[in-house]
């Protein structure tokens, strides 16, 4: 059975694995035909005819059916037994987000070891994925703290993260490690710059700069989602409270900053120690409590007008 399926929500690795399998089937046969069908609008009769008919200009054929799970159920039912039949000159590659585990085709694929599943890693595992990807694909070292910074900037899309790794690989000296400074300089910096700007403004109690920084967030990447800003600020204030607590206990600045999972470059550039010293430990605790309740109220729609949101954030400066 020359039939394989590639399933899951990790589109990057799924597509790479599918293309590698197609390339392996085509290897050594420059004239191997390649057809791509899409389940969104394909008809089973057309795919069946292609499967059963030899190409006029090639001895072998690779048929890719993308979005197999979006093919109408009746069409899948008619097509499955045909694709499972033996045709040594045709290989079929299915791509889908998920398959019906009860279907005979899915069971046959599992039995034959031809069901390839690709699940997105949990967010806390993505830095490890980035470090491994940088090492294996680009031959570069990327530590986990700097990988976390890249994740914070780009988001959870593995395809977009890999695109940024490729960009870094293109512009950096061959073989050099990827640093936090490189990431800040070369990776689409708008989102992280604006968030760091807002956090620093709040942390340093810069009242004159607070409103422009907040509005920049609410008008762009966090539009209609002020509760996300509250969540991120809570995390930032929690870090500052931990630093302040350690400083109060007699820790040196470097010791107090050591437990914060951010690149040293960022800790210094954003003046985390200075931010932590801007308030007493008791005041940090009160602000965290205020932010926790504020986030809940935002989710409940208690502050429908943006000026009300701005007033609440301003009260924390």
Check if the beta carbon of residue 261 is closer than 8 Å to that of residue 145.
yes
Q: Is the pLDDT of residue 209 over 90?
A: no
Residue 188 is predicted with a pLDDT of: 60
Are 201 and 302 found together in one domain? yes
- Short-list 140, 129, 76, CA closest to 103: 76
Range of the domain at 105: 3-117
What contacts 24+ positions apart, CB below 8 Å, involve 253-257? none
| Beta-sheet pairing, 33-38 with 3-7 | unpaired
Are 278 and 310 found together in one domain? yes
Q: Is the pLDDT of residue 183 over 70?
A: yes
What contacts 24+ positions apart, CB below 8 Å, involve 217-222? 218/306, 218/309, 220/190, 220/194, 221/190, 221/191, 221/194, 221/195
Are 260 and 197 found together in one domain? yes
Residue 217 is predicted with a pLDDT of: 84
Are 69 and 153 found together in one domain? no
Could you identify the residue written with the tokens 């200075």?
Answer: 274
3 state SS for the chain = CCEEEEECCCHHHHHHHHHHHHHHHHCCCCCCEEEEEECCCCCHHHHHHHHHCCCCCCCCEEEEEECHHHCCHHHHHHHHHHHHCCCCCEEEEEEECCCCCCCHHHHHHHHCCCEEECCCCCHHHHHHHHHHHHHHHHCCCCCHHHHHHHHHHHCCCHHHHHHHHHHHHHHCCCCCCCCHHHHHHHCCCHHHHHHHHHHHHHHCCCHHHHHHHHHHHHHCCCCCCHHHHHHHHHHHHHHHHHHHHHHHCCCCHHHHHHCCCCCHHHHHHCCHHHHHCCCCHHHHHHHHHHHHHHHHHHHCCCCCCHHHHHHHHHCCC
Check if the beta carbon of residue 175 is closer than 8 Å to that of residue 139.
yes
Residue 143 is predicted with a pLDDT of: 94
Q: Is the pLDDT of residue 53 over 60?
A: yes
Could you identify the residue written with the tokens 């008919």?
Answer: 53
Are 49 and 74 found together in one domain? yes
Give the number of other Cβ atoms within 10 Å of residue 129's Cβ. Answer: 18
Domain CATH for 159: 1.10.8.60
Q: Which pLDDT band holds residue 193 (cuts at 50, 70, 90)? A: low
Domain CATH for 255: 1.20.272.10
Are 200 and 308 found together in one domain? yes
Q: Which pLDDT band holds residue 160 (cuts at 50, 70, 90)? A: confident
Q: Which pLDDT band holds residue 262 (cuts at 50, 70, 90)? A: confident
Domain CATH for 54: 3.40.50.300
The rounded percent of the chain whose pLDDT value lies above 90 is 49
Check if the beta carbon of residue 49 is closer than 8 Å to that of residue 82.
no
Q: Which pLDDT band holds residue 109 (cuts at 50, 70, 90)? A: very high
Residue 190 is predicted with a pLDDT of: 52
Q: Is the pLDDT of residue 129 over 90?
A: yes
Q: Among 93, 117, 141, where does a domain finish?
A: 117
Residue 30 is predicted with a pLDDT of: 66
Q: Among 58, 90, 117, where does a domain finish?
A: 117
pLDDT digits (tens, 9 = 90+) for 271-281: 999 999 999 99
Greatest mean pLDDT range, 28-42, 158-172, 273-287:
273-287
Q: Is the pLDDT of residue 93 over 80?
A: yes
Residue 92 is predicted with a pLDDT of: 94
Q: Is the pLDDT of residue 192 over 60?
A: no
Are 171 and 236 found together in one domain? no
Are 23 and 82 found together in one domain? yes
Q: Report, as an integer, the average pLDDT of 100-108.
A: 88
d(CA 42, CA 6): 18
| End-to-end Cα separation, the chain, in angstroms | 66
Q: Is the pLDDT of residue 132 over 70?
A: yes
Q: Which pLDDT band holds residue 230 (cuts at 50, 70, 90)? A: very high
Are 253 and 147 found together in one domain? no
Q: What is the CA radius of gyration of the chain?
A: 26
Q: Among 67, 98, 117, where does a domain finish?
A: 117
Q: Is the pLDDT of residue 1 over 80?
A: no
Domain count, the chain: 3
Are 133 and 178 found together in one domain? yes
Are 196 and 300 found together in one domain? yes
Q: Is the pLDDT of residue 134 over 80?
A: yes
Q: Is the pLDDT of residue 141 over 60?
A: yes
Residue 33 is predicted with a pLDDT of: 87
pLDDT digits (tens, 9 = 90+) for 56-82: 888 889 999 999 999 998 999 999 999
Are 195 and 97 found together in one domain? no
Question: pTM for this one?
Answer: 0.58
Residue 189 is predicted with a pLDDT of: 54
**Taking all residues of the chain, what is their mean pLDDT, rounded to a whole number?**
89
Q: Report, as an integer, the average pLDDT of 74-96.
A: 91
């Amino acid at each position: 059975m020359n039939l394989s399926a590639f399933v899951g929500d990790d589109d990057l690795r799924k597509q790479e694995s599918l293309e590698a399998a197609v390339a392996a089937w085509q290897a050594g046969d420059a004239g191997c035909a390649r057809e791509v069908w899409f389940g969104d609008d394909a008809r089973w009769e057309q795919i069946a005819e292609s499967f059963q008919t030899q190409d006029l200009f090639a001895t072998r054929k690779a048929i890719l059916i993308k979005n197999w799970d979006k093919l109408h159920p009746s069409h899948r039912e008619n097509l499955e037994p045909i694709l499972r039949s033996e045709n040594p000159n045709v290989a079929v590659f299915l791509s889908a987000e998920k398959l019906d585990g009860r279907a005979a085709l899915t069971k046959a694929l599992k039995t034959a070891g031809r069901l390839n599943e690709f699940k997105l890693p949990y967010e806390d595992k993505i830095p490890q994925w980035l470090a491994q990807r940088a090492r294996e694909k680009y031959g570069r070292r990327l530590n986990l703290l700097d990988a976390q910074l890249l994740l914070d900037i780009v988001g959870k899309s593995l395809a977009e993260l890999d695109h940024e790794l490729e960009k870094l690989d293109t512009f950096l000296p061959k073989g050099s490690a990827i640093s936090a400074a490189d990431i800040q300089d070369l990776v689409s910096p708008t989102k992280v710059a604006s968030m760091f700007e807002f956090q620093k403004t709040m942390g340093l109690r810069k009242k004159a700069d607070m409103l422009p920084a907040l509005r920049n967030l609410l008008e762009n990447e966090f539009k209609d989602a002020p509760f996300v800003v509250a969540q991120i600020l809570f995390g930032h204030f929690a870090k500052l409270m931990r630093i302040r607590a350690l400083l109060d206990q007699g820790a040196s600045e470097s010791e107090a900053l050591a437990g914060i999972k951010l690149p040293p470059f960022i800790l210094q550039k954003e003046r985390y120690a200075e931010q932590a010293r801007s308030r007493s430990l008791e005041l940090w605790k009160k602000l965290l409590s205020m932010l926790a309740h504020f986030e809940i109220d935002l989710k409940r729609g208690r502050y429908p007008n943006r000026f009300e949101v701005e007033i609440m954030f301003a009260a924390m400066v």
